[in-house]
Chains A and B, each alone.
Chain A
Amino acid sequence: MDFTNFDQIFAMNDDTNPIMMLIWIVPIILFVFYGQRIQLYVTSGEIKKGISKLDGFRAESRNELIDYVKKNLKPDDDPVKKIDRFLDYFTIMPVDMDPNGIVGKVQHIVRSREDYTRNHIKSLSPQINDFELTKVQTLLEIASSLQMIHKIINHMFLTAKKQNNYPLILPLQMILPFIMEQAEAMKKAIPAFKTGQPVGDGIGPMVVGKMMLNNEKETVAFQTVLAKTEFENRKLFLLKAEGPGSTVGRPADALKTIVSDNKLDAIIMIDAALKMEGEDSASIAQGFGAAIGGMGTEKFQIEKVATDNNIPVFSIIVKQSVTEAITLMTKEISDKASDVTLQVYEMIQENTKPGESVMIIGVGNTAGVPQ
């Protein structure tokens, strides 16, 4: 057959080659009846690769945690059994059919879980200091999150496969790249938290921590410190999580306490924020509203205090990717600390008058950032 003669190959007249007819028709029949199943097999391969990667991350984070505990905490008994039990711990979120009072309920559950984890880490090694305790707590959170991610994705995949349900596997295929990005970021975060290095999210505490140097500090809320200073006749209240441990503190509780004794005229929050695709990493932006992530309970309380007391909330954010936010701080982000400090002082000058009081909150994980 002359393959350069297209008329001959695709001819449908009487002298058509029956083999060519079959080559056309068989795949059409195959795809009509088994198309979804074929797609399921192709997609399954990709998802399986992702799940085995997730399993690797889960195992790696667990082993790193066990090694760290054995090496640094020197527990009397073998900690493996206890750690495995912590990793399987789950949190049941409160019912939200009636949203009234949901924030308090969520906060109660989250804090109870944190207290439980803290007490049980202490039970592994009663002599553990707070710095080490926060490190182990963070490593435990990373390992249990990776375990949970693996479990959920594996469950979704196996359910779809068991029922030969292609539409069920589609959402999994769509969310997997995002999940993998988060999981990889968590895995990469382990060395930084183990060695107590600052992470990208620590830019807020880094700026405020530097402003706090040489000023008297006091603990105003759990793992949260306050320093008072002055700038061009304005009273500054500097607030951040207590470093260099790996914690975000409780800025909302601290704000409530401070507002009950002092009149504030502005709140400035400095935090890391997720950049959009195409945006430059470590770029700085200013805006209004409470710049704070997490479950939303701290944000809710800060907004409530600000609204009740009619205090404007300004924010300065340093943009970064998910990975940059929880791994060792990049040079680009750390180089922006002085720029952010300058912008804080400019913001104070522009938005307050002499004699007024301003609260500056460095939001984020303060690992490796003292004050």
Chain B
Amino acid sequence: MFSKKEITIAYSVEKCTKCGMLKKRKFIEGDILFAKSSKCNSCDGMTTIEKIFGETTKQ
């Protein structure tokens, strides 16, 4: 009755193949591990999806 509702949010972690910078963002449908994702913000390299995971919070 008094238990809090658990909500899991999926995240994707992008890693730049050139400078190694990591960026965590919310998962977008179609994201697949190791796939090329976007341009790196700190250099001109491309990022790939390094990890996809869920984080659970209680509400």
Using a CB–CB cutoff of 8 Å, the interface residues on chain A facing chain B are 192, 195-198, 206, 209-210, 213, 244, 327-331, 333-335, 337, 368-371
A-B interface pairs (CB < 8 A), number: 57
Let me know if A209 and B34 touch, CB within 8 A: yes
B55: chain A residues at CB < 8 Å are 330-331
B34: chain A residues at CB < 8 Å are 209-210, 213, 370-371
Known: A197-B10, A197-B27, A328-B8. A370 touches B33 (CB 8 A): yes
Given A244-B32, A329-B53, A368-B32, 10 more pairs with CB closer than 8 A: A192-B54, A196-B29, A196-B30, A213-B34, A328-B10, A328-B52, A334-B52, A335-B51, A370-B32, A370-B34
With most chain B CB atoms within 10 A of its CB, the pick from A206, A213, A328, A368 is: A328
Instruction: Tell me the bound Cα distance from A370 to B51 in angstroms.
Output: 12
How would residues 19 to 59 of chain B score, 1 for a CB under 8 Å from any chain A CB and 0 otherwise?
Answer: 00000000101111111000000000000000111111000
Distance from A364 Cβ to chain B, minimum over Cβ atoms (Å): 13
A371: chain B residues at CB < 8 Å are 34
Let me know if A329 and B32 touch, CB within 8 A: no
A333: chain B residues at CB < 8 Å are 53
Let me know if A369 and B33 touch, CB within 8 A: yes
How many residues of chain B get a CB closer than 8 Å to chain A's CBs?
17
Instruction: Tell me the bound Cα distance from A195 to B12 in angstroms.
Output: 13
A195: chain B residues at CB < 8 Å are 10, 27, 29
A370: chain B residues at CB < 8 Å are 32-35
Distance from B13 Cβ to chain A, minimum over Cβ atoms (Å): 8
What are 19 residue pairs bridging A and B, where the CB atoms are less than 8 Å apart in the complex? A192-B54, A195-B27, A195-B29, A196-B30, A197-B10, A197-B52, A198-B53, A206-B33, A329-B53, A330-B53, A330-B54, A331-B51, A331-B54, A334-B51, A334-B53, A335-B51, A337-B51, A370-B33, A370-B34
Let me know if B54 and A329 touch, CB within 8 A: yes
A330: chain B residues at CB < 8 Å are 53-56
Let me know if B33 and A198 touch, CB within 8 A: yes
Let me know if B52 and A368 touch, CB within 8 A: yes
Instruction: Tell me the bound Cα distance from A244 to B34 in angstroms.
Output: 11
With most chain A CB atoms within 10 A of its CB, the pick from B29, B30, B34 is: B34
B29: chain A residues at CB < 8 Å are 195-196
Distance from B17 Cβ to chain A, minimum over Cβ atoms (Å): 11
- The listed residue (A244, A327, A369) touching B54 by CB distance below 8 A is A327
Which residue of chain A has its CB nearest to the CB of B11?
Answer: A331
Distance from B44 Cβ to chain A, minimum over Cβ atoms (Å): 21
Let me know if B33 and A209 touch, CB within 8 A: yes
Instruction: Tell me the bound Cα distance from A330 to B55 in angstroms.
Output: 7
A329: chain B residues at CB < 8 Å are 52-54
Distance from B51 Cβ to chain A, minimum over Cβ atoms (Å): 4
Question: Which 4 A-B pairs rank lowest in CB-CB distance, beginning with the nearest?
Answer: A328-B54, A334-B53, A334-B51, A331-B53
